[in-house]
Chain A
Amino acid sequence: MRIIATVRHLIGPIELLHEQAGPRLLRLARLGIFLLWIVKLLLDPLWRLAELPREMFKPVGVLALLPADAVDAFLTWNGLAALLVFTLGVLVVALTDKAFPFVATVAAVLLTIYSSTIRSFGPAVHTDIVLLLAVYALAAFAWADWFALKFGDRSAVIDRRYKWSSYPLITIVAMLCLSYCLVGLNRSIAGGARVFTGVTMEVWAIDASLRGYYFNTNIGWHIPEWPWVVFMLRSGLPFITLFEITAPLCLAVPHYRWIFIPVMFSFHLMSLVFMNIFFFDDMLLYLLLIDWSRHFPAMSAKAGQTGE
């Protein structure tokens, strides 16, 4: 019995993350997500893509639906600069709450075009996909709020409206956790045991380090010279994969989140050092893994209810 009690104590409470979230927290999350996109776009000289060889362009997603003439017009200095400026403008408007469902939907469409464009010159990498899906969630739930208010039972809606802020927040965290979970499941089942027992992780790390991306630490290809790093990579892959597969527990177990966040944060930093790969969007989304409304009552639904 003592063992069970100890295990229960270690697991801690089991409660849904952001279940108590209120409108203030949702507004802050919206602000953070749109600001992050604005910063990303401000740092991006998108117009330069017009100079890349056209034969490297293999359209991704919606861009494949465009006729060749439209792609030609789009892949010019003017076309790309217009996309960047217009998207930035819409994102700035989204920071205000003016006509949010409509503005967020336009932002989602423009960001989809932008994200498809930058991936059309190479593989459709996963960085910032969850951040894009977060914009989808904010836009879709804003429309859902609008429909429920317009066509729903008005008295019931007003009674429960203060709880609605939790819907997009929980959905965004669910999508973040799901992305990790799918990566882990894919690696374990498609890759099989040999991914974890052989030299695979070293090869991937050296390969990424040799290629060099935007961040180029020029360190990873030394890995074979450092047995302790080889050991860390080999033992770390199954460990990290386990955390990836169990990421959905973040929705339910606060104690697990406090282990998950530092472990995955360290993993992403190591990926940067040894592999030049940096998922800083996901790392910033970890802020949503903290149940702010339980720590700061002003951000809870009850505060929203009394405030309204």
Chain B
Amino acid sequence: MSTPARPSIRLHPALAAAIIAVSVATIIYQISFAVPLRLAGQGYMMILILLAFRYWPPMIRWVKSMPVVHRVVFAVLIGSMIAGHYTLNGRTYFPYVTWEIFPFVNERDPVTCRAFIATTNSGHKVRLLVEQLFPSVVQIDPVEMMDDPHYYPPGTTEHLARTLAKVYNELHADDPVWRVDLMLLAVQLHPPAGESRANPSCELLQRYDISSGQ
């Protein structure tokens, strides 16, 4: 009595290529340290994803249906996006940027932030935000960076405070601001039990008298 033949185990080419890719990445990282894991790891994960699509029949059919020039366009658009990511540069090759959102461990406690709080003629306190007075700007650098000579020339913070007050007053001529305070806002990650605040704790860092400057 003959035993039934066992079905042969066939490794899918995509899986084989992925295993090779991950192995090569590991060797590169372990032996040469030439390519940091941050790049190699992402690079080989991306290869894995691309290989999965490379061997997926509907994708093959779709790409084969394309004239050559369309294939080139598709490859350039997707390839540029991937290449831009691996430049680890968010500015030079815009819009081909590094895609990173919350990419590293951040455990500072308390969490602090500098803010411009202005006082109007009627005594109201208003926060001056670049992103609201200049809606074109999606986000500015943190205000504390503006006092760092590596990034900005001296006096940038004061210049910005006066600019914000000027633009605010142009938009709110009925109740303009006359003073801007640079405040340090702080929130503790572990507040005392049951504590609830209406505002974060504040510390005055600098005061700018706007009325005298105008």
Contacts and interface: CB of A to CB of B under 8 A. Distances in A.
A15 interface: yes
Category for how many chain B residues contact A: 35 or more
Contacts of B6: none
* Residue among A53, A213, A221 facing the most chain B CB atoms (10 A cut-off): A53
B174 interface: no
A199 B189 contact: yes
Interface in A171-214: 171, 174-175, 178-179, 181-183, 185-187, 189-192, 194-195, 198-204, 206-207, 210-214
A39 interface: no
A123 B92 CA distance: 12
Contact of B135 (A44, A123, A133, A211): A44
B54 interface: no
A52 interface: yes
B49 A181 contact: yes
Interface of A, secondary structure class, is helix
Contacts of B107: 198-200, 203
Given A45-B136, A181-B49, A210 B187 contact: yes
A64 to B, nearest CB: 7
A210 B140 contact: no
Contact of A186 (B100, B105, B166): B100
A140 B137 CA distance: 28
A122 B77 contact: no
Interface in B173-211: 185, 187-191, 195-196, 200
A121 B141 CA distance: 8
Given A190-B104, A212-B127, A148 B67 contact: yes
Contact of A140 (B41, B73, B90, B111): B73
Contact of A48 (B81, B136, B160): B136
Nearest to A160: B65
B94 A203 contact: no
Given A112-B95, A187-B101, A210-B113, A225 B196 contact: yes
A185 B42 contact: yes
B138 A174 contact: no
Contact of B167 (A48, A116, A148, A163): A48
Contacts of A51: 134, 163, 166-167
B42 to A, nearest CB: 5
A185 B93 CA distance: 20
A207 B136 CA distance: 21
Contacts of A216: 127, 129, 132
A64 B81 CA distance: 20
In this complex, which of A116, A160, A194, A213 has the most chain B Cβ atoms within 10 angstroms of its Cβ? Answer: A213
B150 interface: no
B135 A178 contact: no
A204 to B, nearest CB: 5
A124 B108 contact: no
Contacts of A231: none
Contact of B152 (A44, A56, A187): A56
Given A61-B94, A144-B70, A185-B46, A53 B135 contact: no
Interface string A19-61: 1000000000000000000000001111011011101101011
Nearest to A187: B103
A126 B191 CA distance: 33
B133 to A, nearest CB: 8
Nearest to B76: A140
A76 interface: no
A136 interface: yes
B129 A44 contact: no
Nearest to B159: A53
A123 B53 CA distance: 33
B65 A116 contact: no
A171 B74 contact: yes
B183 to A, nearest CB: 11
A206 B111 contact: yes
Given A122-B140, A213-B138, A221-B187, A182 B105 contact: no
A56 to B, nearest CB: 7
Given A216-B127, A224-B188, 7 more contacts: A137-B77, A140-B73, A185-B45, A191-B105, A200-B106, A204-B102, A210-B113
13 contacts: A44-B136, A52-B137, A55-B159, A122-B141, A124-B91, A137-B77, A167-B70, A171-B74, A182-B81, A183-B99, A186-B100, A191-B103, A210-B115
Interface of B: 37-38, 41-42, 45-46, 49, 53, 56, 58-59, 61-62, 65-67, 69-70, 72-74, 76-78, 81-82, 85, 90-95, 97-109, 111-113, 115, 127, 129-142, 146, 152-153, 156, 159-160, 163, 166-167, 185, 187-191, 195-196, 200
